[in-house]
Structure 1
Amino acid sequence: MLSMIRAVSPVLSSLLLGASVLWPLQAHALFGDDEARKAIIDLRQKVDVNRQAADAAALEAREGQAVTRRSLLDLANQLEQLRAELARLRGQNEQLSREVSELQRLQKDVQTGLDERLRQVEPLRVTHDGVSFTSAPAEKRDFDAAMEVLRRSEFEAAAMAYTVFLRRYPVSGYAPSALYWLGNAQYAIRAYKESIDSHRMLATQFPNHLRAPEAMLAMANSQIELKDAKAARRTLEDLVKAYPESEAAAASRERLARLR
């Protein structure tokens, strides 16, 4: 037994020696794997953390881009709304401009019409036959119309026009002239008595009018046509006495010389 143990001992010793040699290597290998595994785990954790951070950053970037896109879209919508509002305001401004132009045109037309109506009724300051007076536009128009008829040598129509004028405007500043031309128109149609009445009315009612001497001379002419020489001489003598410096007085003196 002892011999067997002794015989085995060297072998066992060798085996034990080999195991003692291999043990540190196996332990070192075992501990190296743990550290490597831990390092890998740490690395994986760091990678995971970095990936998560990257994912979070990417998500934040995407969200930021989405916010930016929404903001840009909102700005675009607001800009479009502003453009639409501007177009609407421009349209309103153009409409208002047209309405203002139309109102201005209407106001101008109204003012023109008002001015025209005022001109038709507003008194005018006129001077006729050396006399200044106020005349209504219609009054002046009617007198001018009667004068135009007389200028066409339409004596009967002119006599009617002056008669109507004097009836319509009895206190007109044109009355003395109207009486004078009425008498002349009546003389032209051989209405001598009527002519004498018209000219006498002028000389009696308006003795200071410049047509008064001429009216008296015309009266004498009508009286001569009626073969009333006595009345004609009296009229001519009155004319020379009342208006000695007038041209009508000079003509009257010649007539008186012939009548005698």
Structure 2
Amino acid sequence: MRTTLLAMMLAVPAASLAQAPVSNLSQSADSLEQRLATIERMMQARQGAQLDMLQQLSALQQDVSELRGITEEHEYRLEQLLQRQRELYQEIDRRFSQLRDQPAPSSPSAMGPVVSSGDAAADSGSGGDEYSANLSENDAYDRAIALVLEDKRYDAAIPAFEQFIEQFPDSSYLPNAHYWLGQLQFAEQAYAKARRHFRTVVEEYTDSNKRADSLLKLGVIAAEQDKNADAKAFFQQVIEEYPDTTEANLAQQRLND
């Protein structure tokens, strides 16, 4: 009997000791699972925050790229406007210089030809002091030039120069007429038409004082159309054939860009 009771008394603590580790392991497993769930939620939250930051960064980069494109476009347009303004000022200065160098007219009837002579010589491209003997030719050319330099009616100047070329195919003013048509159509981004007129000046009127700028404009048009090899060739031709000129400096700047 005593043996039985002793066995029972010893069995109770043994059973308690056997059950304790199972309970602790269960609690540890639950605690570990909770920690893992907490860590997983933290990782998901962090990944979500990183994704949001990446999206915001991508949007900012896109905005910066668009702003850079807009800035470059504005810089290019400003450069074109400044270049056009310089050309107009140079043209006006040449016209007045020629007028100032002309002898004073001896009679009122000579006033008209003297004015035409100055205007024509400034734009003739041949460097001569003679204006055309055809008064209607002088008038037609002067009207077309006035539409550009005085009235700023560039849309009307295009048909005026086209009509002049058609009406006076042998005129000494033809290189200038082609040059101004190229300039006007270049400003309208009608590059194919502009290129045709600039090429006419370059290839058919090698003594024209508009040839250097016509070569430069051919390079600019090629660059605008992503024909970089052609553009480089035109710019180098300007530098080689017209060194120490404004056109050569502009061509070098283009090559350096």
TM-score by length of 2: 0.49
Structure label with greater radius of gyration: 1
TM-score by length of 1: 0.49
Of structures 1 and 2, the one scoring higher in RCO (CA 8 A, sep 6+) is 2
